[in-house]
Amino acid sequence: MTEMFCFQCQETLKNVGCTTRGVCGKPADVANLQDLLIYILKGISFWGTRGRDMGVVSEETDLFVIQALFATITNANFDSDRFVQLIKKAVEHREALRSAAQQKCQELHGNPCPGNGPDWASWVPESYELNNLLEKAKIVGVMSDPTLDIDIRSLRELIIYGLKGMAAYADHAYILGGKDPEIFAFVQEMLEATTNEKLTAEELTNLVLKTGEMGLRSMALLDKSNTDAYGNPEPTPVNLGVKAGPGILVSGHDLLDLDELLQQTVGTGVNIYTHGEMLPANAYPAFKKYDHFVGNYGGSWWKQKEEFESFGGAILMTTNCIVPPKDIYAKHLFTTGMAGYPGCPHIPDREPDKQKDFSAVIEAAKNLPHPVALEDKQIMIGFAHHSVISLADKVIEAIKSGAIQRFVVMGGCDGRQKSRSYFTEVAEALPPDTVILTAGCAKYRYNKLELGDIGGIPRVLDAGQCNDSYSLIRIAQALAEAFEVKDVNDLPISYDIAWYEQKAIIVLLALLSLGVKKIRVGPTLPAFLSPNVIDTLVKIFELKTIETAESDVPLILMGN
């Protein structure tokens, strides 16, 4: 029996599964606790779906399910103590929901409803001691049933990983006031569906596509929440150097955390920098009023050990993308929200009608070395759908004149593997009449290249974070409308997507739900996809894996 089993991310060992420790750095006890947490979330969903049919709904529990899923995303939380507490809360939420559902059932039918459901809907630990929970976790993990059909397991995990990505987007939207009860309900319906032994592979495949549809809805909700709060991103040059004075480096994805930190650092002499997926924040109008918001530092998440050490100041990790830190900066790497790492200080959640208290981060920054520059240049960002669609006439004319021959969507995630140099090589090999549409940290493979422009249109149009892949979809839809094309596959757009974790999975499922075909995915296809599931996706959507830039670029230019 292996110490753990996890194959939810792209760098999983040998593209099969991590069995002793995650390549990401996740220890076996955390991996197993995450499995147990998912198991109990399925139990919440058992009662949630039944209770909802009778009018029993708990928004607090619905939100907890979303946040707990978010905590299990790759590189989000490595803290076993936090997962013990999440499991305890999950059981409390489930039991409260079970009691309310059973009581409502009795009121409606006049007699007690029989049974407490399956094990995941009723199991209560004898204690919340770590070893006790780990004993249970060993028998409820991904590979706990060796008799389960490999295709059924594959499709169930594909749904669950899509839900994890969706949950991250839904949580970001929720804290900005964006609420959609149907997303909450859908997540629980799908978690419940993954326990249904009667569902066939064909039926689960249909649910995979429905997950993509709801993923698109969650991205649209987050897009609206972000832009309602902070305005539409604008084309913006971003400084990559440093400014004299102490600094705080903000990484992750959470714009509200950045917003509150900016407010709390006004007049303190502390400068704020973005890192990784927070780069797009520099393009939001609401943040440009802060003189101490001075630019972006460093690049992709996987380089953070060197970049965080060089930065010298305080670091705030707002969400996932944590790499196990070096001792030299671990004590001033602060986590918040669903992120966590043992030994790193954690900023508690905000209380009702109050901001998070970032005073500890600010005080740390004042007493730490000032940032050391890694580079001194600017890059252009801010090409979300509102900005690009506002240039629609210019873009359409460039297409009609032949100045732009093709758009290549190269969004998604970055990662550590050397094979990801493929995306740099593709960007360099694409001819000067092509435009790269990007979102997510995959852009760090080519966003600092000097690729020029086409009649004033930059050849790299950066829409923002991974969730801003919604913008790429909106741009494609706008072009389809402009050219009166009914099928987006008839547009001069090719898709060459890099993936690493579960937010990229929900983006892929959203594209598939729209019927987008001939998507290249790499560096490898997900290990959790069985051969038969891959064959199905290839048959229906002509899904492809990347090869080499030399072989792929000619095909990309032909739309193949």
pLDDT at 51: 93
Shared domain check, 524 and 448:
yes
In a domain, 75, yes or no: yes
pLDDT at 111: 73
In angstroms, rounded to a whole number, what is the distance separating the alpha carbons of residues 250 and 278?
A: 7
In a domain, 374, yes or no: no
User: Which CATH number characterizes residue 278's domain?
Assistant: 3.40.50.2030
- pTM for this model (two decimals): 0.96
* pLDDT tens, residue by residue, 322-364: 999 999 999 999 999 999 999 999 999 999 999 999 999 999 9
Alpha helices in 291-391 (DSSP H): 304-311, 327-330, 359-366, 385-390
Shared domain check, 134 and 43:
yes
Last residue of a domain, one of 342, 366, 390: 366
In a domain, 141, yes or no: yes
Distance of CA 390 to CAs 62, 233, 387, 499, Å? 37, 12, 5, 29
Last residue of a domain, one of 311, 345, 366: 366
In a domain, 50, yes or no: yes
In a domain, 372, yes or no: no
Domain interval for residue 325: 236-366
* Three-class DSSP category at 249: strand
Shared domain check, 245 and 218:
no
Contacts of 480 (CB under 8 A, 6+ apart): 486, 487, 488, 491
In a domain, 385, yes or no: no
Distance of CA 197 to CAs 36, 146, 156, Å? 19, 14, 11
In a domain, 311, yes or no: yes
Shared domain check, 220 and 71:
yes
What is the residue whose two structure tokens read 């305890």?
A: 88
Shared domain check, 275 and 184:
no
Shared domain check, 507 and 409:
yes
Report the first-to-last Cα separation within the chain, whole angstroms: 44
In angstroms, rounded to a whole number, what is the distance separating the alpha carbons of residues 210 and 213?
A: 5
Shared domain check, 153 and 46:
yes
In a domain, 392, yes or no: no
What is the block-wise mean pLDDT of the chain (560 residues), using blocks of 10 residues?
91 96 96 98 97 94 98 97 98 96 88 83 97 96 94 98 97 97 98 97 98 97 97 96 97 97 98 97 98 97 96 96 96 97 97 96 97 94 94 90 95 93 97 96 95 94 92 92 90 96 95 96 96 96 96 96
Shared domain check, 404 and 331:
no
Total number of domains constituting the chain: 3
Shared domain check, 61 and 21:
yes
Shared domain check, 427 and 320:
no
Last residue of a domain, one of 180, 212, 228: 228
User: Which CATH number characterizes residue 48's domain?
Assistant: 1.20.1270.20
CB 287 within 8 A of CB 262: yes
Shared domain check, 436 and 353:
no
pLDDT at 1: 59
Shared domain check, 154 and 24:
yes
